[in-house]
Amino acid sequence: MVATMTGLSPARVQQFHEDGYLVVDNLLDVALDIQPVVDEYTDLVDALVRRWYAEGKLPSTYANLPFWQRLLKILESDQAAEIYPHLDISLPQAGITADWPIHTGPAVFAILRSPRLLDAVESLIGPEIYSNPVQHIRIKMPERLVPEDKRSHPMAATTDWHQDQGVVLPEADETDILTVWLPLTDATIDMGCLALVPRGHRELMAHCPGVNGGGLHIPDQLLRPAEVIPVPVNKGGALFMHRRTMHSSLPNKSDAIRWSFDLRYNRIGQPTGRPAFPGFVARSRRDPASELRDPDQWTALWHAARARLAEQEKPTFNRWTEGAAVCA
């Protein structure tokens, strides 16, 4: 029996192309798609905390605390620099070693291949879908609870203004990269949802490297603050963005964690913009046998890339340099 596709209506697809973004409520099944990821990360953090406690790097396992408060305790400790790589679903752009941690669990792989998610993606870019390797986990702690000297940590800092096309190589300028921002918790304004510029996806802006090797960002003089809107998304929903949609994140002013994934997809055969990292065929109506269905094979792809990158000269990941006139 052929599964029925439950994608987006033509009106919603048109709205996406006109506005450069689209919020789809209740896209994922909380029990089937999201809870397994929450459980997987809960087990991962439990194992890390127990290991670091046994090694004398933490004063307690904090076993009586919920998931996000255990993470907060790690942020307050000397292990703060160690935690994020263990949680992320990609590798960094520099400093990769043969044993650099990366999380490639089966629940994360399953959400990358969720039929409900891929149906919506198919509505926007077609039925030949490649999982682009520019992907990350975003866990944002309540800002007021994070020590001031740790507020630049990936699990506390806001995301600067950028376009996703601006953080990949020029080879992908014509690639139909689709960003899917998936919250695993509610993402309200107070919790630090994304903010973006509607219909601001017509051109690629210059991006400047951040201080001390920080991420690329659009310089202030190119921003359009009067047009910015916040985009709250509830748990189970998704925010789809065009590759040139200008967006950033708001600070988490709430008393709860804001947890999300940045996922990206493009049409099979198009450059990903980050060839050093491995993607995979998530869906192919033309050749279903080409789809990657085994999470262990996904893990093996990332481990092979890690081993290769640990031994070779650092590849190029971005087009922009500090010498650009707009960055002066």
* pLDDT tens-digit readout, 83-114: 999 999 999 999 999 999 999 999 999 999 99
pLDDT at 3: 42
Mean pLDDT across the stretch 241-252?
97
How many Å apart are CA 143 and CA 214, to the nearest integer? Answer: 19
- Per-residue pLDDT band for 319 (boundaries 50, 70, 90) equals confident
Angle value at C-alpha 308, between 305 and 314, nearest 5 degrees: 100
pLDDT, tens digit (0-9, with 9 covering 90-100), for 170-214 = 999 999 999 999 999 999 999 999 999 999 999 999 998 876 556
Within 25-79, where are the H helices? 35-54, 67-75
The reported pLDDT for the residue numbered 318 is 84
pLDDT at 256 over 80: yes
* Predicted local confidence at residue 328, as pLDDT: 67
Whole-structure pTM value:
0.95
Average pLDDT estimate for 212-233: 88
Q: Average of pLDDT values for 258-284?
A: 98
Phi first, then psi: give them for residue 220, nearest 5 degrees. Answer: -55, -40
**pLDDT interval class at 315 (50, 70, 90):** confident
Q: Which residue has the tokens 């049409």?
A: 267
What is the chain's mean pLDDT, rounded? 94
Task: Give exposure, 76-85, as e/b (b: 16+ Cβ within 10 Å).
Answer: ebebbeebbb
Which domains are assigned to the chain?
15-202+228-312 (2.60.120.620)
Query: For residue 75, what are its two tokens?
Result: 């942020």
Instruction: Check whether 68 has a pLDDT greater than 80.
Output: yes
Cα–Cα distance, 162 to 222 (Å, whole number) = 11
Residue appearing with tokens 């922009």: 320
Residues 55 and 57: their CA atoms lie apart, in Å, by 6
Nearest residue to 240 via CA among 124, 113, 115: 124
Q: Average of pLDDT values for 293-308? A: 98
Question: Measuring CA to CA, which residue among 203, 143, 207 is closest to residue 169?
Answer: 207
Pick from 207, 181, 201, 200: which is nearest to 192 by CA? Answer: 181
Q: What is the residue whose two structure tokens read 């806001």?
A: 158
Distance CA 83, CA 74 (A): 7
Q: Specify the higher pLDDT residue, 210 or 82.
A: 82
Residue 132 scores a pLDDT above 80: yes
Q: How many Cβ atoms are within 10 Å of 93's Cβ, its own excluded?
A: 18
Q: What is the pLDDT of residue 269?
A: 98
pLDDT of residue 14: 98
pLDDT computed for residue 212 by the predictor:
52
Adjacent-strand bridge partners of 264: 132, 179
Whether the predicted pLDDT of 282 surpasses 60:
yes
Specify the pLDDT at position 38: 98
pLDDT of residue 1: 31
